[in-house]
């Protein structure tokens, strides 16, 4: 029986910890990018950080916002920071 308790505890920790870790990753990444890179990428740093923070309140919403940031916005801002611009 102790293995069942350990398995259940591990799954619950992953279920609730993974979205929090994803949100923390997105928030820390957004915070560390310089403002000029956001401006060159034509994105709003304050807006994205606010959306990510608000997403913490709703697990599904937070996962969606953080995933969208990491998948679509982060590469554009990172490219601007490195001096790469589209077309």
**Model confidence pLDDT, tens digit, residues 22-78:** 999 999 999 999 999 999 999 999 999 999 999 888 877 889 999 999 999 999 999
DSSP state for residue 41 in the 8-state scheme: T
| Mean pLDDT confidence for 2-12 | 90
Provide the H-helix boundaries in 33-70: 35-40, 45-55, 59-68
Q: Is 1 inside a domain boundary?
A: no
- Which residue range(s) make up the domain with 67? 17-82
Do the beta carbons of residue 34 and residue 82 sit within 8 Å? Answer: no
pLDDT higher than threshold 80 for residue 1? no
pLDDT for 2 equals 87
**Can you give the pTM of this predicted structure?**
0.83
Q: Is 28 inside a domain boundary?
A: yes
Q: Is 12 inside a domain boundary?
A: no
Residues in the chain: 87
pLDDT for 87 equals 61
pLDDT for 72 equals 96
């Amino acid at each position: 029986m102790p293995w069942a308790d350990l398995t259940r505890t591990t799954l619950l920790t992953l279920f609730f910890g993974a979205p929090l870790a994803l949100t923390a990753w997105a928030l820390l990444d957004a915070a560390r990018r310089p403002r000029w890179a956001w401006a060159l990428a034509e994105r709003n740093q304050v807006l994205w950080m606010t959306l990510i923070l608000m997403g913490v309140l709703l697990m599904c919403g937070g996962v969606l916002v953080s995933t969208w940031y990491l998948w679509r916005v982060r590469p554009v801002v990172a490219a601007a920071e490195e001096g790469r611009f589209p077309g």
